[in-house]
């Protein structure tokens, strides 16, 4: 399909524009669905019903109603806030998540930018989020926001290490940084998936990556930055209305990014679990999105089950548990590859 876009528009700015709008549309529709799913799943896990009235059928229009409400809110900027930083912060956070979509292969026939260092680019560009969060916390002129922002920055930077180390193990096995090639390497039946390979090391790698990515997206049990009961709302305390909505959508966009990466690296990405049955360009998109949604369900499941970590325990987990395990893992996987080929 990407070839189709290039054919139609030619390799010029129009192609880039269309290729960048498609993920945006995806993010916005997916965020509405994911928010509704979160409300319903959390409700049923807590023995209650969740939204039931907006949109008649089980409140499917609740996120739409929320967005409409947020759009109508007054734009409040604290009087003593650092205005330039305050206005720029939400967009930086959004861009950090959004830019990663350029390199995610939704199907064998569609990828925004088929670069051969795909995963490296994604990890790098996701780090922009840290800048945005620090800006938000500092410019709000609020002690609690500042505390939240500092904690978040520490958390995000620390968890990038085990996350990247886990990805490194997969890259060693696949032999390439390009996400398309990694998906290709897992084609065939589901036992070809990397999560079952070099057992148990790549499974441990998956667990490490999943936990680290949970921390990257500030989801519980790592949601200290936005812990409602501790810091009111952390770095986005002072944001209201549409600016807050941008933070919120950015969080969901990030969730899907890491879910998609986990699916691609460990569960075959767009390749069908049944070999050539149900595979192809359109089926590829279906498989990637389904696997991503399963990962997202697990993320939500964890959020509603676990209490949250204290900030020093969070650091302990990253530096003293995940990083050593990831390093040992890389060593073991490397040894396996050298010895067994």
Partner 1 sequence: MSSVSNYFRNIGKGFWTVLIGMKITMRHLFTPAVTIQYPDARMGIPERGRNRLYVNMDDCIGCDQCEMACPVNCITIETAKSLPTEDLGLTSTGQKKRLWVTKFDIDFGKCCYCGLCVPPCPTECIYMTSVYEFSAYDRSELVYNFTTLTPEESAAKVKQAQEAEREAAAKKAAAAAAAAAQKAAQAAAAQAAPASPAAPAQTAQPPAQQPPPADKPADQNENKS
Partner 2 sequence: MAELRTEEMVLNMGPQHPSTHGVLRVELVVDGEVVVDAIPHIGYLHRCFEKHAEAMNYQQVIPYCDRMDYLSSMGNDFSYALAVEKLLNIKVPERVEYIRVIMAELQRIASHLVAIGTYGLDIGAFTPFLYCFRDREIILDIFETTCGARLLYNYMWPGGLSHDIPPGFVEKVKAFVKQFRPTIKELNDLLSYNEIFVKRTANVGILPADVAINYGVSGPTLRGSGVKWDLRKDDPYSVYHKFEWDVVVGKGDVGTVGDCWDRYMVKVWEMEQSLRIIEQAVEAIPEGNVQAAIPKRIRPPVGEVYTRTETARGELGYYIISDGSANPSRVKARGPSFVNLSVLPEISRGYLIADMIAIIGSVDIVLGEVDR
Name which of 43 and 293 has its Cβ closer to partner 1.
43
Residue 219 as a binder of partner 2 (CB under 8 A): the answer is no
DSSP letters spanning 65-107: HHHHHHHTS-----TTS-HHHHHHHHHHHHHHHHHGGGG-EEE
Nearest approach in angstroms of CB 226 to partner 2 is 11
Distance CA 96, CA 106 (A): 19
State the sign of the Cα–Cα–Cα–Cα dihedral 320, 333, 107, 18.
positive
DSSP class of residue 322?
Answer: I
Compare residues 21 and 306 and give the one whose CB is closer to partner 1: 306
Nearby residues of 17 by Cβ (< 8 Å), 6 or more positions away:
none
The CB-of-58 to partner 1 minimum distance in angstroms stands at: 11
Q: Per-residue x/- marks for partner 1, 318-337, CB under 8 A?
A: ---x----------------
Structure-derived torsion over alpha carbons of residues 280, 283, 284, 285, reported in degrees to the nearest 10: 140
**Angle subtended at Cα 65 by Cα 60 and Cα 67, rounded to the nearest 5 degrees:** 115
Query: Which residue's CB is nearer to partner 1, number 100 or number 214?
Result: 214
* 300 near partner 2 (CB under 8 A): no
Q: Which of 14, 313, 321, 331 binds partner 2 (CB under 8 A)?
A: 313
**Residues 39 to 68 in contact with partner 1, rule: CB under 8 A:** 41, 43-49, 52
Could you say whether residue 75 binds partner 2 (CB under 8 A)? no
Size of the site for partner 2 (CB under 8 A): 27
Which CA distances in Å does 231 have to 64, 148, 159, 218, 255? 28, 7, 21, 14, 22
Of 7-15, 18-26, 225-233, 244-252, which segment contacts partner 2 by CB under 8 A? 225-233
Cα angle for residues 133, 168, 100 (degrees, 5° grid): 40
Only segment of 23-31, 73-81, 291-299, 311-319 that touches partner 2 (CB under 8 A): 311-319
Count Cβ atoms below 10 Å from residue 247 Cβ, excluding itself.
20
User: Could you say whether residue 221 binds partner 2 (CB under 8 A)?
Assistant: yes
- Beta partners for residue 110, in sequence order: 107
Interaction pattern, residues 1-40, with partner 2; x per rule: CB under 8 A: ----------------------------------------
Nearest to 120 by CA among 183, 74, 170, 154: 170
From residue 283 to residue 302, the character string flagging contacts with partner 1 as x (rule: CB under 8 A) and all else as - is ------------------xx
Instruction: Pick the stretch among 116-124, 203-211, 310-318, 331-339 that binds partner 2 (CB under 8 A).
Output: 310-318
Question: Is residue 322 a contact residue for partner 2 (CB under 8 A)?
Answer: no
Please report whether residue 80 would count as binding partner 1 according to CB under 8 A.
no
CA-only gyration radius of the chain, Å: 20
DSSP letter for 222, please. Answer: S
Judged by beta carbon distances under 5 to 8 A according to partner kind, the member of partner 1, partner 2, none in contact with residue 321 is partner 1
Output the smallest distance, CB 334 to partner 1, in A.
23
User: Any contact of residue 304 with partner 2 (CB under 8 A)?
Assistant: yes
Nearest Cα neighbor of 160 from 202, 190, 128, 194 is 128
Q: Give the side-chain half-sphere CA count within 13 A for 59.
A: 17
Residue 157: half-sphere exposure toward Cβ, Cα within 13 Å: 10
- Minimum CB separation from partner 1 for residue 207, in Å? 9
Applying CB under 8 A, which residues contact partner 1?
41, 43-49, 52, 301-302, 304-306, 321
Applying CB under 8 A, which residues contact partner 2?
42, 45-48, 143, 147, 220-221, 223-224, 227-230, 232, 303-313
């Amino acid at each position: 399909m990407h070839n189709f876009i290039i054919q139609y528009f030619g390799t010029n700015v129009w192609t880039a524009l269309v290729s960048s709008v498609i993920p945006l549309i995806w993010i916005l529709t997916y965020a509405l669905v994911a928010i509704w799913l979160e409300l319903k799943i959390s409700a049923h896990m807590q023995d209650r019903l969740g939204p039931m009235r907006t949109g008649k059928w089980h409140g499917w229009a609740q996120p739409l109603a929320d967005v409409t409400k947020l759009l109508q809110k007054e734009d409040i900027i604290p009087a003593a806030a650092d205005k330039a930083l305050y206005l720029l912060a939400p967009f930086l956070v959004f861009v950090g998540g959004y830019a990663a979509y350029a390199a995610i292969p939704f199907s064998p026939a569609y990828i925004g930018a088929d670069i051969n260092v795909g995963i490296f680019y994604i990890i790098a560009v996701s780090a922009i989020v840290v800048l945005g969060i620090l800006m938000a916390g500092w410019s709000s002129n609020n002690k609690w926001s500042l505390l939240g922002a500092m904690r978040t920055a520490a958390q995000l930077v620390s968890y990038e290490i085990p996350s990247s180390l886990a990805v490194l193990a997969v890259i060693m096995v696949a032999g390439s940084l390009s996400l398309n090639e990694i998906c290709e390497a897992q084609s065939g039946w589901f036992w070809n998936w990397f999560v079952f390979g070099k057992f148990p090391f790549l499974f441990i790698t998956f667990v490490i990556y999943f936990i680290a990515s949970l921390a990257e997206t500030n989801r519980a049990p790592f949601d200290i930055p936005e812990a409602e009961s501790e810091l009111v709302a952390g770095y986005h305390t002072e944001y209201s209305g549409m600016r807050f909505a941008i933070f919120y959508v950015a969080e969901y966009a990030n969730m899907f990014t890491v879910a998609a990466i986990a699916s691609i690296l460990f569960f075959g990405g767009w390749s069908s679990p049944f070999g050539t049955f149900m595979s192809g360009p359109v089926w590829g998109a279906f498989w990637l999105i389904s696997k991503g949604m399963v990962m997202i369900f697990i993320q939500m499941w964890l959020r509603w089950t676990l209490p949250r970590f204290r900030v020093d325990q969070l650091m302990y987990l990253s530096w003293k548990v995940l990083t050593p395990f990831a390093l040992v893992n890389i060593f073991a996987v490397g040894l396996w590859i050298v010895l067994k080929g």
